[in-house]
Chains A and B, each alone.
Chain A
Amino acid sequence: MEVSVIDAVELLLSGAKIALILSFLSIFLGFVIGIVVAIAESYGGRTVRYIAMAYENILRGIPLLAIYFILFFSLPMIIHIGMSAFLTAVIGLGIRSSAYQSQIFRSGIQAVDKGQIEAAMSLGMTKTQTILHIVLPQALRFSIPAWLNEYAVVLKDTSIALVLGIVEITERANELAQITREPFTYYGMAALIYLVIVLTVVSIANRIGKKYKIKGVGGMIRV
Chain B
Amino acid sequence: MSEEILKIVDLKKRFGKNEVLRGVSFSINKGQTKVVIGPSGAGKSTMLRCINRLVEPDGGKIYFNGVDITSKKVNIMEVRSKIGFVFQHFNLFKHLTALENVKIGLKIVKKMSDKEATERAYKALENVKLSDCAHKYPAQLSGGQQQRVAIARALAMDPEIILFDEPTSALDPELVGEVLDVMKSLSKKHVTMLVVTHEIGFALGVADEILFFYKGIIWERGEPNKIIYNPQKKETKDFLKRIFELYSRGEAE
Asked if A and B form a direct contact in the complex, defined as CB atoms under 8 angstroms apart, the reply is yes
Q: A residues bordering B, Cβ < 8 Å? A: 113, 115-116, 118-126, 129, 133-134, 137-138, 141, 214-217
* Beta-carbon contact of A216 and B94 below 8 Å: yes
Chain B 80-98 interface 0/1 with A at a Cβ cutoff of 8 Å (1 = within): 1111010101111111000
* Beta-carbon contact of B91 and A116 below 8 Å: yes
Q: Which residues of B are found within 8 Å of A116, using beta-carbon distances?
A: 91-94
Chain B 138-151 interface 0/1 with A at a Cβ cutoff of 8 Å (1 = within): 11100000000010
Partner of B108 from the list A115, A118, A122, A129 (CB cut-off 8 Å) is A129
Interface residue count on the B side (C-beta < 8 Å): 29
Within 8 A of A (CB), among B74-131: 77-83, 85, 87, 89-95, 104-105, 108-109
Count chain B CB atoms within 10 A of each CB in A119, A126, A129, A214 and give the residue with the most. A119
Given the contacts A122-B52, A122-B80, A215-B139, A133 and B104 also touching, CB distance less than 8 Å: yes
Known: A122-B83, A123-B105. 19 other contacts (CB 8 A): A115-B90, A119-B153, A121-B80, A122-B80, A122-B85, A123-B81, A123-B153, A124-B78, A124-B79, A125-B109, A126-B77, A129-B108, A133-B108, A134-B95, A138-B94, A215-B140, A216-B94, A216-B137, A217-B139
Q: Which residues of A are found within 8 Å of B94, using beta-carbon distances?
A: 116, 138, 214, 216-217
The answer to the question of B183 belonging to the interface, with a C-beta cut-off of 8 Å to chain A, is: no
Partner of A119 from the list B77, B83, B92, B140 (CB cut-off 8 Å) is B92
Partner of A125 from the list B92, B108, B153 (CB cut-off 8 Å) is B108
In the assembly, what is the distance between CA of A134 and CA of B95, in Å? 8
Q: Can you list the 5 inter-chain pairs with the closest CB atoms, starting with the nearest?
A: A216-B139, A124-B81, A119-B91, A115-B91, A123-B105
The answer to the question of B157 belonging to the interface, with a C-beta cut-off of 8 Å to chain A, is: yes
* Beta-carbon contact of B87 and A119 below 8 Å: yes
Q: Which residues of B are found within 8 Å of A115, using beta-carbon distances?
A: 87, 89-91
